[in-house]
Amino acid sequence: MLKDSFGRIHDYLRISLTDKCNLRCVYCHPTNALHGHHDYAKNMSAEEIEKIVSVFVGEGVNKIRFTGGEPLIRKDTKEIIERLSNYPVKLTITTNGVFVHDFIDTFKTADLKSVNVSLDSLNKEKNSTINQRDEFERVKRNIDLLLENDFHVKVNVVVMNGINSDEVNDFIEWTKDFPLHIRFIEFMPFPGNKWDHEKVFTHQQIIKTVSEKYPVEKLSDDAHDTAKKYFVPNHKGTFAVISTMSEPFCSGCNRMRITTDGKMRNCLFSKTETDLLTALRAGNDIVPLIRECLYGKHYMLGGNHDEHWGEEETASHRRSMLGIGG
């Protein structure tokens, strides 16, 4: 069992399958070109991912999320999903949804039942402005396809003040007739994403906005939930807020991350990382490295909780969201 120095059990691993993406979301894609590991030999192969996962599973991991970059653009993603479906873990994925139609059968065979799809606006033009690509209709169709095939579908919406904050209730209206689970995410700072405090639309503002139009009731949250969950009576779906910026939820954290080049990060906002892939390739036991990395985890936000957090635009110790895997 993996525990950090605060006694928190860590049994959830998020694996970045690639740091490339077919979209250019303004809040995610770095404006500079400094990110990226374009030397494919530096990245984990399908076989190496399986080896690393088998070690984590041996240490008690029981949930894995595929992320990126965009996990569905990697050529061997189907093979990776199939390989990991042989382990006693719950598989999940976060995707921009563009290629979901090609993966429905793979997800079903692998028993991957829960899919998070990112969609930041229900307005085609605005969505294209945020994504800097025109994929709105395909993503919408693929969300319908997932629902038709009985997947548990969460829709991730990064809410930015003055950009898509006026659409909060449009997303809520969508849950009236569809069993969708909307997850409003507060805008977070990463190098090159032009974050500032003013652009954060907080948990409190979201609840106020929804409450002005609908009756809102609280759902109970699980110990490890990053999202605060709610529902509107008589709606088929639910909604939740991921309040990283205004009300961090680190106390119950059970997550670890592996970047596509095989570095372990003990927090999304960590300033350090541990190279598991080089050790694995050298034939070394990676268990001590995993334990040491986890033991160094800060209690909150990777130790970034002073008032200047987010202002380190060019800090080299931090990676963009694409480079880490969201």
Contact footprint for ligand SAM (CB under 6 A): 21, 27-28, 67-68, 70, 94-96, 118, 156, 158, 185, 187-188, 190, 193, 321, 326
**Backbone torsions φ then ψ of 183, nearest 5 degrees:** -120, 105
Q: How far apart are the C-alpha atoms of 210 and 173, rounded to whole Å?
A: 10
When the beta carbons of 27 and 56 are compared against ligand SAM, the nearer one is 27
Nearest distance, CB of residue 320 and ligand SAM, angstroms: 8
Tokens of residue 323, six digits:
């480079």
Q: Are 286 and 52 in contact (CB under 8 A)?
A: yes
Q: How far apart are the C-alpha atoms of 325 and 18, rounded to whole Å?
A: 8
Nearest distance, CB of residue 233 and ligand SAM, angstroms: 27
When the beta carbons of 13 and 286 are compared against ligand SAM, the nearer one is 13
When the beta carbons of 193 and 254 are compared against ligand SAM, the nearer one is 193
Pick from 186, 239, 181: which is nearest to 211 by CA? Answer: 239
**β 181-186/217-218 pair status:** unpaired
Nearest distance, CB of residue 82 and ligand SAM, angstroms: 20
Nearest distance, CB of residue 130 and ligand SAM, angstroms: 10
Nearest distance, CB of residue 143 and ligand SAM, angstroms: 12
Nearest distance, CB of residue 322 and ligand SAM, angstroms: 6
Q: How far apart are the C-alpha atoms of 233 and 217, rounded to whole Å?
A: 7
Residue whose structure tokens are 């929804």: 210
> Using CB atoms, what's the residue nearest to ligand SAM?
326
Q: How far apart are the C-alpha atoms of 19 and 38, rounded to whole Å?
A: 9
When the beta carbons of 27 and 171 are compared against ligand SAM, the nearer one is 27
When the beta carbons of 188 and 250 are compared against ligand SAM, the nearer one is 188
Scored b (16 or more CB within 10 A) or e, 132-158 reads: eeebbeebbebbeebeeeebebbbbbb
When the beta carbons of 46 and 158 are compared against ligand SAM, the nearer one is 158
Q: At what angle do helices 168-177 and 203-211 cross, to 10 degrees?
A: 60
The H-or-E segment that residue 106 falls in is: helix 104-109
When the beta carbons of 116 and 254 are compared against ligand SAM, the nearer one is 116
Nearest distance, CB of residue 35 and ligand SAM, angstroms: 12
Tokens of residue 182, six digits:
């909307």
When the beta carbons of 10 and 154 are compared against ligand SAM, the nearer one is 154
The H-or-E segment that residue 148 falls in is: helix 136-148
Nearest distance, CB of residue 96 and ligand SAM, angstroms: 4
Nearest distance, CB of residue 4 and ligand SAM, angstroms: 23
Q: How far apart are the C-alpha atoms of 23 and 128, rounded to whole Å?
A: 9
How many CB atoms sit inside 10 A of residue 319's CB? 26
Tokens of residue 90, six digits:
């719950």
When the beta carbons of 258 and 289 are compared against ligand SAM, the nearer one is 258
